[in-house]
Structure 1
């Protein structure tokens, strides 16, 4: 078993600071949100992105010699307030075939600790593609 811990405290009106290891991260606790710092949902989406990127680095380090980007989106309902779905797209600057990328995606999904945990509670969907290829999650012009 691996244990994780983090400490957070309120530092100012509608602002807080989290500490973990030798790092610190300020975030917003403003109920209306702010453009200047991450809020709770932003931090959750960043955790999904970090999980996916860490899995790519772990299971296909050669691909990580190139640029890899992850875009994560959430759909939230107002009442009761909850996230009802998360989706992501992974874009890799590579010459790998789509079949090879699909295999990587399968491994990434299988071994992503944060993604696996969240998917027990809400639907998570995603795709992987080479840089420049159309995103299957985006509608295409007719």
Structure 2
């Protein structure tokens, strides 16, 4: 079992920060920064994306494949009543020339062993695919 802890601070009519280890991440909670700072929903999607990318790195070692870069696009559908994320879709692009990359097995491992992935799938539909770019 692992335990996690963060601290978040907001000041009235201003923005907020999340304190994570040695990093402060600013996020918007007011209208004046809605176009410049991430909102809570975007931070949520960022956490989902970070989980997938962490597992690409993790499984590159376990599955013994090399890659130059991984890019992830995540989209979400938010319902209004009650407000919640209902559907997430992702497209993971991996840039590699390594023939050992089994993208089907990688996808299965990401979906089975991702902590945030498994937490999110309890409450909303997730679909995604992996694209392998060999021209690196």
Q: TM-score, normalised by structure 2?
A: 0.86
Distance 1:84 1:59, change over 3 A: same
What's the offset of the Cα at 1:98?
Answer: 10
CA RMSD of the aligned region, Å?
Answer: 2.4
C-alpha contact 1:74 1:85 (8 A) present in aligned 2: yes
Give the structure 1 partner of residue 80 of structure 2: 78
Aligned-pair CA distance for 1:11: 3.6
Q: What is the match of residue 92 of structure 1? A: 94
Verify the 8 A CA contact 2:16 2:29 in the aligned structure 1: yes
State the partner residue of 2:58: 58
1:9 aligned partner: 9
Unaligned runs of 5+ in 1: 133-142
Tell me the residue number matched to 2:121.
119
Superposed displacement of residue 81, structure 1 = 1.8
TM-score (norm 1): 0.83
> Is 2:1 the counterpart of 1:36?
no
How many residues in Structure 1 have an aligned counterpart in Structure 2? Answer: 133
* Structure 2 unaligned regions, length at least 5: none
